[in-house]
Structure 1
Protein backbone atom coordinates (compact mmCIF):
# COMPACT_ATOMS: atom_id res chain seq x y z
CA UNK A 1 0.00 0.00 0.00
CA UNK A 2 1.19 3.53 -0.82
CA UNK A 3 0.31 6.46 1.44
CA UNK A 4 1.44 10.07 1.66
CA UNK A 5 3.04 11.07 4.95
CA UNK A 6 3.98 14.42 6.45
CA UNK A 7 7.75 14.81 5.95
CA UNK A 8 8.02 16.92 9.12
CA UNK A 9 6.56 14.08 11.19
CA UNK A 10 8.71 11.40 9.55
CA UNK A 11 12.12 9.97 10.38
CA UNK A 12 13.50 11.97 7.43
CA UNK A 13 12.32 15.44 8.48
CA UNK A 14 15.81 16.95 8.74
CA UNK A 15 16.94 15.34 5.48
CA UNK A 16 13.81 16.58 3.71
CA UNK A 17 14.49 20.15 4.81
CA UNK A 18 18.15 19.93 3.87
CA UNK A 19 18.09 18.07 0.55
CA UNK A 20 14.68 18.81 -0.92
CA UNK A 21 15.98 21.82 -2.87
CA UNK A 22 19.32 20.28 -3.86
CA UNK A 23 19.83 20.33 -7.66
CA UNK A 24 21.64 16.97 -7.53
CA UNK A 25 20.34 15.09 -4.46
CA UNK A 26 21.46 11.61 -5.47
CA UNK A 27 24.35 9.83 -3.73
CA UNK A 28 26.26 6.89 -5.20
CA UNK A 29 28.22 4.27 -3.25
CA UNK A 30 30.20 1.45 -4.86
CA UNK A 31 31.26 -1.75 -3.12
CA UNK A 32 33.07 -4.80 -4.51
CA UNK A 33 31.24 -7.93 -3.37
CA UNK A 34 32.46 -11.47 -2.96
CA UNK A 35 29.86 -13.39 -4.99
CA UNK A 36 31.60 -16.78 -4.90
CA UNK A 37 28.72 -18.27 -2.93
CA UNK A 38 26.14 -16.80 -5.29
CA UNK A 39 27.81 -18.33 -8.35
CA UNK A 40 28.05 -21.77 -6.67
CA UNK A 41 24.41 -21.76 -5.59
CA UNK A 42 23.30 -20.63 -9.05
CA UNK A 43 25.16 -23.47 -10.77
CA UNK A 44 24.00 -26.06 -8.26
CA UNK A 45 20.34 -25.02 -8.11
CA UNK A 46 19.81 -23.90 -11.70
CA UNK A 47 18.43 -20.56 -10.48
CA UNK A 48 19.86 -17.69 -12.50
CA UNK A 49 22.57 -15.55 -10.93
CA UNK A 50 20.54 -12.39 -11.49
CA UNK A 51 17.49 -13.89 -9.78
CA UNK A 52 19.56 -14.76 -6.72
CA UNK A 53 21.15 -11.31 -6.66
CA UNK A 54 17.78 -9.55 -6.87
CA UNK A 55 16.36 -11.79 -4.14
CA UNK A 56 19.33 -11.04 -1.86
CA UNK A 57 18.81 -7.31 -2.50
CA UNK A 58 15.20 -7.56 -1.37
CA UNK A 59 16.14 -9.66 1.65
CA UNK A 60 18.84 -7.18 2.69
CA UNK A 61 16.53 -4.17 2.27
CA UNK A 62 13.32 -5.53 3.82
CA UNK A 63 14.17 -4.61 7.43
CA UNK A 64 15.60 -1.15 6.69
CA UNK A 65 12.68 1.26 7.06
CA UNK A 66 14.24 3.95 4.86
CA UNK A 67 13.87 1.68 1.84
CA UNK A 68 10.09 2.01 2.11
CA UNK A 69 10.16 5.80 1.59
CA UNK A 70 9.89 7.60 -1.74
CA UNK A 71 10.10 11.28 -2.64
CA UNK A 72 7.72 12.05 -5.49
CA UNK A 73 6.70 15.48 -6.84
CA UNK A 74 7.83 17.17 -3.64
CA UNK A 75 5.81 14.80 -1.45
CA UNK A 76 6.97 11.93 0.74
CA UNK A 77 5.29 8.54 0.44
CA UNK A 78 5.56 5.39 2.51
CA UNK A 79 5.02 1.81 1.33
CA UNK A 80 4.53 -1.45 3.19
CA UNK A 81 6.04 -3.86 0.65
CA UNK A 82 8.95 -4.04 -1.76
CA UNK A 83 9.50 -5.05 -5.37
CA UNK A 84 12.65 -5.34 -7.46
CA UNK A 85 12.68 -3.76 -10.90
CA UNK A 86 14.67 -5.44 -13.67
CA UNK A 87 15.35 -4.35 -17.22
CA UNK A 88 14.48 -6.96 -19.86
CA UNK A 89 15.71 -7.13 -23.43
CA UNK A 90 12.53 -7.78 -25.43
CA UNK A 91 11.84 -9.54 -28.72
CA UNK A 92 12.06 -6.29 -30.68
CA UNK A 93 15.62 -5.67 -29.53
CA UNK A 94 14.47 -2.87 -27.25
CA UNK A 95 14.16 -2.95 -23.44
CA UNK A 96 11.15 -3.27 -21.15
CA UNK A 97 10.87 -2.52 -17.44
CA UNK A 98 9.53 -5.23 -15.14
CA UNK A 99 8.64 -5.06 -11.41
CA UNK A 100 9.02 -8.31 -9.46
CA UNK A 101 7.29 -8.45 -6.04
CA UNK A 102 9.74 -9.44 -3.31
CA UNK A 103 8.95 -12.60 -1.35
CA UNK A 104 10.90 -14.23 1.48
CA UNK A 105 10.22 -17.48 -0.39
CA UNK A 106 12.97 -17.79 -3.00
CA UNK A 107 10.99 -20.29 -5.06
CA UNK A 108 8.02 -17.91 -5.23
CA UNK A 109 10.30 -15.01 -6.17
CA UNK A 110 11.96 -17.10 -8.86
CA UNK A 111 8.60 -18.18 -10.29
CA UNK A 112 7.40 -14.57 -10.42
CA UNK A 113 10.69 -13.44 -11.95
CA UNK A 114 10.59 -16.05 -14.72
CA UNK A 115 6.91 -15.45 -15.51
CA UNK A 116 7.00 -11.65 -15.53
CA UNK A 117 10.29 -11.22 -17.38
CA UNK A 118 9.23 -13.74 -20.05
CA UNK A 119 5.97 -11.85 -20.47
CA UNK A 120 7.79 -8.52 -20.77
CA UNK A 121 10.21 -9.96 -23.31
CA UNK A 122 7.53 -11.51 -25.52
CA UNK A 123 4.91 -8.75 -25.32
CA UNK A 124 7.44 -5.86 -25.38
CA UNK A 125 5.52 -4.12 -22.61
CA UNK A 126 6.69 -2.73 -19.28
CA UNK A 127 4.85 -3.73 -16.11
CA UNK A 128 4.68 -1.65 -12.94
CA UNK A 129 3.51 -2.33 -9.38
CA UNK A 130 2.18 1.02 -8.19
CA UNK A 131 1.54 -0.06 -4.58
CA UNK A 132 5.06 -1.40 -4.04
CA UNK A 133 8.23 0.50 -3.20
CA UNK A 134 10.49 -0.28 -6.13
CA UNK A 135 14.23 -0.92 -5.87
CA UNK A 136 15.66 -0.47 -9.35
CA UNK A 137 18.35 -2.70 -10.85
CA UNK A 138 20.24 -2.88 -14.12
CA UNK A 139 22.85 -5.33 -15.39
CA UNK A 140 25.42 -4.97 -18.16
CA UNK A 141 26.74 -8.50 -18.56
CA UNK A 142 28.73 -8.04 -21.76
CA UNK A 143 31.84 -6.74 -19.98
CA UNK A 144 33.39 -6.00 -16.59
CA UNK A 145 32.81 -2.47 -15.26
CA UNK A 146 34.42 -0.85 -12.24
CA UNK A 147 31.60 1.60 -11.49
CA UNK A 148 28.21 2.67 -12.83
CA UNK A 149 26.76 6.07 -11.96
CA UNK A 150 23.19 6.58 -13.13
CA UNK A 151 21.93 9.90 -14.48
CA UNK A 152 19.63 12.01 -12.31
CA UNK A 153 16.49 12.91 -14.25
CA UNK A 154 14.35 14.16 -11.36
CA UNK A 155 11.65 11.72 -12.47
CA UNK A 156 12.75 8.56 -10.67
CA UNK A 157 13.94 8.88 -7.07
CA UNK A 158 13.95 5.18 -6.21
CA UNK A 159 17.10 3.54 -4.92
CA UNK A 160 18.94 1.90 -7.81
CA UNK A 161 21.61 -0.81 -8.03
CA UNK A 162 23.67 -1.65 -11.11
CA UNK A 163 26.36 -4.17 -11.92
CA UNK A 164 28.06 -5.81 -14.89
CA UNK A 165 29.89 -9.12 -15.42
CA UNK A 166 31.42 -10.75 -12.35
CA UNK A 167 35.16 -11.42 -12.20
CA UNK A 168 36.50 -14.91 -11.65
CA UNK A 169 39.67 -15.23 -9.59
CA UNK A 170 41.68 -18.21 -8.36
CA UNK A 171 39.97 -18.35 -4.99
CA UNK A 172 36.92 -16.09 -5.25
CA UNK A 173 34.58 -14.35 -7.66
CA UNK A 174 34.00 -10.63 -7.21
CA UNK A 175 31.50 -8.09 -8.49
CA UNK A 176 31.46 -4.27 -8.07
CA UNK A 177 27.92 -3.03 -7.40
CA UNK A 178 26.82 0.59 -7.56
CA UNK A 179 24.04 1.85 -5.27
CA UNK A 180 22.40 5.20 -6.02
CA UNK A 181 19.85 6.73 -3.64
CA UNK A 182 18.10 10.03 -2.95
CA UNK A 183 19.50 11.79 0.11
CA UNK A 184 15.98 12.56 1.35
CA UNK A 185 15.28 8.83 1.46
CA UNK A 186 18.36 7.81 3.42
CA UNK A 187 21.83 8.83 4.56
CA UNK A 188 25.16 7.27 3.69
CA UNK A 189 25.12 5.27 6.91
CA UNK A 190 21.83 3.59 5.98
CA UNK A 191 23.19 2.78 2.53
CA UNK A 192 26.43 1.38 3.93
CA UNK A 193 24.44 -0.77 6.38
CA UNK A 194 22.38 -2.11 3.48
CA UNK A 195 25.48 -2.94 1.42
CA UNK A 196 26.97 -4.90 4.32
CA UNK A 197 23.65 -6.72 4.81
CA UNK A 198 23.66 -7.58 1.11
CA UNK A 199 27.10 -9.18 1.44
CA UNK A 200 25.88 -11.08 4.52
CA UNK A 201 22.80 -12.36 2.65
CA UNK A 202 24.98 -13.51 -0.25
CA UNK A 203 27.25 -15.36 2.17
CA UNK A 204 24.28 -17.06 3.87
CA UNK A 205 22.55 -18.13 0.68
Structure 2
Protein backbone atom coordinates (compact mmCIF):
# COMPACT_ATOMS: atom_id res chain seq x y z
CA UNK A 1 0.00 0.00 0.00
CA UNK A 2 2.93 2.34 0.61
CA UNK A 3 4.24 1.85 -2.92
CA UNK A 4 0.73 2.11 -4.36
CA UNK A 5 0.36 5.45 -2.59
CA UNK A 6 3.60 6.69 -4.18
CA UNK A 7 2.59 5.41 -7.63
CA UNK A 8 -0.79 7.10 -7.42
CA UNK A 9 0.66 10.42 -6.29
CA UNK A 10 3.36 10.29 -8.97
CA UNK A 11 0.83 9.58 -11.74
CA UNK A 12 -1.59 12.26 -10.57
CA UNK A 13 1.16 14.89 -10.85
CA UNK A 14 1.24 14.36 -14.65
CA UNK A 15 -1.85 15.99 -16.25
CA UNK A 16 -1.63 13.74 -19.32
CA UNK A 17 -2.04 10.66 -17.10
CA UNK A 18 -5.29 12.15 -15.81
CA UNK A 19 -6.69 12.60 -19.33
CA UNK A 20 -9.06 10.18 -21.03
CA UNK A 21 -10.69 9.90 -24.41
CA UNK A 22 -14.46 9.78 -24.04
CA UNK A 23 -16.90 9.94 -26.94
CA UNK A 24 -14.31 11.49 -29.22
CA UNK A 25 -13.30 14.20 -26.75
CA UNK A 26 -10.38 14.54 -24.33
CA UNK A 27 -11.39 15.06 -20.72
CA UNK A 28 -9.08 15.68 -17.78
CA UNK A 29 -9.77 14.68 -14.19
CA UNK A 30 -8.60 16.64 -11.17
CA UNK A 31 -7.38 13.45 -9.50
CA UNK A 32 -7.57 9.81 -10.55
CA UNK A 33 -8.11 7.01 -8.04
CA UNK A 34 -6.38 3.67 -8.44
CA UNK A 35 -8.09 0.40 -9.13
CA UNK A 36 -5.65 -2.27 -8.06
CA UNK A 37 -5.70 -6.02 -7.89
CA UNK A 38 -5.93 -7.73 -4.51
CA UNK A 39 -4.96 -11.40 -4.20
CA UNK A 40 -7.56 -13.78 -2.76
CA UNK A 41 -6.76 -16.99 -0.82
CA UNK A 42 -7.94 -19.22 -3.69
CA UNK A 43 -5.40 -17.73 -6.14
CA UNK A 44 -7.87 -15.42 -7.88
CA UNK A 45 -8.08 -11.67 -7.38
CA UNK A 46 -10.49 -8.80 -7.03
CA UNK A 47 -10.33 -5.05 -7.54
CA UNK A 48 -10.02 -2.35 -4.93
CA UNK A 49 -10.35 1.39 -5.57
CA UNK A 50 -8.33 3.90 -3.53
CA UNK A 51 -7.75 7.66 -3.51
CA UNK A 52 -4.38 9.14 -2.52
CA UNK A 53 -5.10 12.84 -1.97
CA UNK A 54 -4.89 12.49 1.81
CA UNK A 55 -1.71 12.38 3.87
CA UNK A 56 -0.31 8.87 4.17
CA UNK A 57 -1.26 8.60 7.86
CA UNK A 58 -4.93 8.96 6.86
CA UNK A 59 -4.62 6.98 3.61
CA UNK A 60 -3.16 3.81 5.11
CA UNK A 61 -5.94 2.83 7.56
CA UNK A 62 -8.59 3.63 4.95
CA UNK A 63 -6.67 1.59 2.34
CA UNK A 64 -6.44 -1.41 4.67
CA UNK A 65 -10.19 -1.22 5.33
CA UNK A 66 -10.96 -0.86 1.61
CA UNK A 67 -8.82 -3.90 0.76
CA UNK A 68 -10.54 -6.01 3.42
CA UNK A 69 -13.95 -4.92 2.08
CA UNK A 70 -12.83 -5.75 -1.48
CA UNK A 71 -11.73 -9.23 -0.35
CA UNK A 72 -15.16 -9.84 1.17
CA UNK A 73 -16.95 -8.54 -1.93
CA UNK A 74 -14.60 -10.31 -4.39
CA UNK A 75 -15.68 -8.10 -7.30
CA UNK A 76 -14.05 -7.72 -10.69
CA UNK A 77 -16.27 -4.78 -11.54
CA UNK A 78 -15.06 -1.18 -11.71
CA UNK A 79 -18.60 0.08 -12.34
CA UNK A 80 -19.90 1.30 -15.66
CA UNK A 81 -17.56 2.28 -18.48
CA UNK A 82 -18.05 5.93 -17.59
CA UNK A 83 -17.40 5.29 -13.87
CA UNK A 84 -14.12 3.52 -14.71
CA UNK A 85 -12.84 6.39 -16.87
CA UNK A 86 -10.87 8.24 -14.17
CA UNK A 87 -9.19 5.09 -12.84
CA UNK A 88 -5.49 4.28 -12.96
CA UNK A 89 -5.31 0.50 -13.39
CA UNK A 90 -2.59 -0.91 -11.12
CA UNK A 91 -1.22 -4.42 -10.68
CA UNK A 92 1.72 -5.97 -8.94
CA UNK A 93 3.62 -9.14 -9.73
CA UNK A 94 5.48 -9.76 -6.46
CA UNK A 95 6.52 -13.24 -7.60
CA UNK A 96 8.77 -12.15 -10.48
CA UNK A 97 11.24 -9.50 -11.46
CA UNK A 98 11.21 -8.45 -15.10
CA UNK A 99 12.88 -6.19 -17.64
CA UNK A 100 9.76 -5.67 -19.75
CA UNK A 101 6.11 -6.61 -19.70
CA UNK A 102 3.22 -6.57 -22.15
CA UNK A 103 -0.11 -5.45 -20.71
CA UNK A 104 -3.45 -6.82 -21.92
CA UNK A 105 -5.82 -4.14 -23.20
CA UNK A 106 -9.42 -4.39 -24.30
CA UNK A 107 -10.49 -3.98 -27.89
CA UNK A 108 -11.29 -1.29 -28.70
CA UNK A 109 -8.62 0.10 -26.39
CA UNK A 110 -9.52 2.37 -23.48
CA UNK A 111 -7.31 5.30 -22.47
CA UNK A 112 -6.72 4.37 -18.81
CA UNK A 113 -3.04 4.17 -17.86
CA UNK A 114 -1.85 0.80 -16.57
CA UNK A 115 0.93 0.66 -14.00
CA UNK A 116 2.56 -2.58 -12.90
CA UNK A 117 5.49 -3.42 -10.66
CA UNK A 118 7.24 -6.68 -9.90
CA UNK A 119 9.57 -8.15 -7.31
CA UNK A 120 12.61 -6.12 -6.44
CA UNK A 121 16.13 -7.50 -6.79
CA UNK A 122 19.34 -6.49 -5.06
CA UNK A 123 22.64 -5.81 -6.77
CA UNK A 124 25.23 -5.03 -4.12
CA UNK A 125 23.84 -2.23 -1.95
CA UNK A 126 21.24 -1.14 -4.51
CA UNK A 127 17.68 -2.40 -4.91
CA UNK A 128 15.94 -2.44 -8.31
CA UNK A 129 12.18 -2.57 -8.70
CA UNK A 130 10.64 -3.06 -12.15
CA UNK A 131 7.83 -0.58 -12.82
CA UNK A 132 6.02 -0.42 -16.15
CA UNK A 133 3.61 2.21 -17.45
CA UNK A 134 1.29 1.58 -20.41
CA UNK A 135 -0.55 4.60 -21.79
CA UNK A 136 -2.61 5.66 -24.78
CA UNK A 137 -0.14 7.35 -27.12
CA UNK A 138 -2.73 9.89 -28.31
CA UNK A 139 -2.54 11.38 -24.79
CA UNK A 140 0.87 10.45 -23.41
CA UNK A 141 4.33 10.41 -24.95
CA UNK A 142 7.83 9.66 -23.67
CA UNK A 143 8.24 13.02 -21.94
CA UNK A 144 5.09 12.46 -19.87
CA UNK A 145 6.19 8.94 -19.00
CA UNK A 146 9.59 10.28 -17.92
CA UNK A 147 7.82 12.79 -15.67
CA UNK A 148 5.90 9.95 -14.03
CA UNK A 149 9.13 8.05 -13.29
CA UNK A 150 10.82 11.22 -12.01
CA UNK A 151 7.81 11.90 -9.76
CA UNK A 152 7.87 8.31 -8.52
CA UNK A 153 11.56 8.61 -7.64
CA UNK A 154 10.79 11.85 -5.75
CA UNK A 155 7.88 10.23 -3.88
CA UNK A 156 10.07 7.27 -2.91
CA UNK A 157 12.89 9.61 -1.89
CA UNK A 158 10.52 11.22 0.62
CA UNK A 159 10.15 7.79 2.26
CA UNK A 160 13.83 6.98 2.37
CA UNK A 161 14.97 10.51 3.35
What's the TM-score once normalised by structure 2's chain length?
0.84
CA distance in structure 2 between the partners assigned to 1:88 and 1:62 by the alignment: 21
CA distance in structure 1 between the partners assigned to 2:59 and 2:113 by the alignment: 20
CA distance in structure 2 between the partners assigned to 1:164 and 1:188 by the alignment: 21
Query: Which residue is 2:135 aligned to?
Result: 181
2:95 to 142, 149, 156: 142
- Secondary structure class of the residue paired with 1:157: coil
Deviation per CA, 1:162-182, whole angstroms, max 9, x where unpaired? Answer: 121111232121111111000
Deviation at 1:104, TM superposition (A): 3.6
The CA RMSD over aligned residues, in Å, is 2.1
- Whether the aligned pair in 2 keeps the contact of 1:135 and 1:159 (CA below 8 Å) is yes
Unaligned stretches of 5+ residues in structure 1: 1-50
- Secondary structure class of the residue paired with 1:199: helix
- Secondary structure class of the residue paired with 1:82: coil
- Are 1:57 and 2:10 matched, yes or no? no
Query: Which residue is 1:97 aligned to?
Result: 47
- Are 1:66 and 2:16 matched, yes or no? yes
CA distance in structure 1 between the partners assigned to 2:60 and 2:77 by the alignment: 17
Aligned length: 155
Deviation at 1:77, TM superposition (A): 2.5
Q: Which structure: greater strand fraction?
A: 1
Deviation at 1:86, TM superposition (A): 0.9
Deviation per CA, 1:135-157, whole angstroms, max 9, x where unpaired? Answer: 11111111222221202323432
Query: Which residue is 2:122 aligned to?
Result: 168
Unaligned stretches of 5+ residues in structure 2: none
Query: Which residue is 1:26 aligned to?
Result: none
- Whether the aligned pair in 2 keeps the contact of 1:92 and 1:124 (CA below 8 Å) is no
Q: Judging changes above 3 Å, is the alpha-carbon distance between structure 1 residues 157 and 118 closer, same or farther for their aligned structure 2 residues?
A: same
CA distance in structure 2 between the partners assigned to 1:95 and 1:131 by the alignment: 18
What's the TM-score once normalised by structure 1's chain length?
0.67
Structure with higher RCO (Cα < 8 A, 6+ apart)? 1
Query: Which residue is 2:110 aligned to?
Result: 156
Q: Judging changes above 3 Å, is the alpha-carbon distance between structure 1 residues 114 and 127 closer, same or farther for their aligned structure 2 residues?
A: farther
- Secondary structure class of the residue paired with 1:133: coil
